[in-house]
């Protein structure tokens, strides 16, 4: 009996001791997390000061996504012998010069994707990868500073596709106005005088026009996280049918040695593109009748930061 009592007493003491140790460790862990957050806050503040220093700042990050599959005699689906896949890649790069009296900001975005759907029992179908997502944007902004937050600026922005129909259409915006930089990572361009050149081959619905240009770009790196959001809007003075908007958001999280996870999605509203596409099937389509649906894309996959 004494042995049983002694064993239970020892077990109780060990349990209490373990509980106290666990609570103490949790307390130490909480304190350590608070210390890490404080250190990260100081590091971010120092990084902000570094970013504000004169000179060139250059960087890039991108995402690669891939999905490949092959089925043989998989009778549960409509196409039992199937080979399919998708491959996509995005690249975001920037080269910014910041001096006491002026700045020059340059950025580029590339998003390419290929898709494949091959029915092995159909000799007539295409078994190769076809072009999917095709986005190319490049921007150059120069400004003469009036003070820390405002500048007189000039902007050149070019957008097109590369894999299919290069420069058909292609958009070139040239304009002047003002640039507002309320914080180090946010740039807002307000150009009331901007000409939107639209390039295309042959007879098409695309038209160039004069209008206003607004661009908002936010690029931020916090530790292992890279984030970029770019909104580009053109409002035509001639007709709302000639206006367009593109919003691209990119996110990268580095896990190890520059490699991590990445996600990008884009939105676009462009009635000229919608009408040009609709005329392929409906030659009588017009700006008044076309269904101008919101254009979207997204890509998720591995990410690599430079």
How many residues comprise the chain?
306
Angstrom distance (rounded) from CA 215 to CA 187 = 8
Higher per-residue pLDDT: 187 or 281:
187
Burial group, residue 29, by CB count within 10 angstroms (0-12, 13-18, 19+):
exposed
Residue 4 confidence (pLDDT) above 60: no
What the block records as the tokens of 180 is 């507002």
Angstrom distance (rounded) from CA 216 to CA 187 = 6
pLDDT at 40 (0 to 100): 62
3-class SS of residue 62:
strand
Angstrom distance (rounded) from CA 48 to CA 41 = 11
Angstrom distance (rounded) from CA 28 to CA 231 = 44
- Report the candidate in 108, 77, 104 with the shortest Cα–Cα distance to residue 90: 108
pLDDT at 122 (0 to 100): 84
What the block records as the tokens of 146 is 């009036």
- Report the candidate in 172, 233, 223, 191 with the shortest Cα–Cα distance to residue 46: 223
**Domain definitions of the chain by residue range:** 1-53, 56-305
Residue 39 confidence (pLDDT) above 90: no
Residue 7 confidence (pLDDT) above 70: no
Residue 13 carries which DSSP code? H
* Spacing of C-alpha 29 from chain mean position: 35
Mean pLDDT score of the chain, rounded to an integer?
84
Q: What is the pLDDT of residues 40-57, one digit of tens each?
A: 666 666 666 666 666 788
Higher per-residue pLDDT: 159 or 124:
159
3-class SS of residue 212:
strand
Computed from CA positions of residues 275, 276, 277, 278, in that sequence, does the dihedral angle turn out positive or negative?
A: positive
**Contact assessment for residue 159 and residue 170, using Cβ atoms and an 8 Å cutoff:** yes
Computed from CA positions of residues 159, 164, 166, 168, in that sequence, does the dihedral angle turn out positive or negative?
A: negative
Higher per-residue pLDDT: 238 or 49:
238
With bands split at pLDDT 50, 70 and 90, how would you rate the model's confidence at 33? low
What the block records as the tokens of 27 is 């307390």
Q: Which CATH fold would you assign to the domain 56-305?
A: Outer membrane phospholipase (ompla); Chain C (2.40.230)
- Spatial neighbors of 115 by CB under 8 A, at least 6 apart, are 85, 86, 129, 130, 132
Higher per-residue pLDDT: 65 or 290:
290
DSSP-assigned beta bridge partners for residue 130 = 115
Q: What is the pLDDT of residues 95-143, one digit of tens each?
A: 999 999 999 999 998 988 888 888 888 888 877 888 877 889 999 999 9
């Amino acid at each position: 009996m004494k042995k049983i009592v002694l064993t239970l007493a020892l077990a109780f003491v060990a349990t209490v001791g373990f509980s106290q140790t666990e609570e103490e460790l949790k307390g130490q862990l909480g304190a350590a997390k608070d210390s890490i957050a404080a250190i990260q806050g100081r590091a971010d503040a120092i990084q902000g000061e570094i970013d504000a220093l004169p000179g060139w700042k250059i960087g890039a990050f991108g995402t690669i996504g891939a999905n490949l599959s092959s089925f043989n005699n998989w009778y549960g689906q409509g196409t039992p012998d199937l080979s399919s896949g998708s491959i996509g890649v995005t690249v975001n790069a920037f080269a910014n010069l910041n001096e006491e009296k002026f700045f020059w900001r340059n950025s580029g975005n590339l998003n390419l994707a290929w898709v494949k759907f091959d029915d092995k029992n159909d000799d007539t179908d295409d078994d190769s990868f076809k072009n999917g997502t095709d986005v190319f944007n490049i921007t150059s902004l120069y400004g003469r500073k009036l003070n820390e937050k405002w500048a007189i600026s000039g902007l050149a922005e070019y957008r097109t596709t590369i894999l299919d129909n290069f420069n058909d259409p292609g958009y070139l915006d040239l304009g002047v106005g003002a640039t507002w930089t309320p914080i180090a990572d946010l740039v807002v361009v307000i150009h009331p005088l901007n000409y939107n050149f639209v390039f295309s081959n042959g007879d098409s619905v695309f038209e160039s026009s004069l209008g206003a240009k607004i661009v908002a770009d936010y690029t931020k790196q916090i530790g292992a996280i890279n984030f970029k959001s770019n909104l580009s809007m053109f409002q035509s003075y001639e007709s709302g049918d000639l206006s367009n908007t593109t919003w691209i958001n990119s996110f990268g999280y580095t896990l190890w040695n520059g490699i991590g996870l990445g996600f990008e999605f884009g939105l676009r509203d462009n009635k000229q593109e919608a009408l040009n596409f609709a005329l392929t099937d409906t030659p009588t389509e017009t700006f008044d009748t076309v269904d101008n649906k919101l254009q979207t894309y997204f890509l998720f996959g591995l990410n690599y930061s430079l």
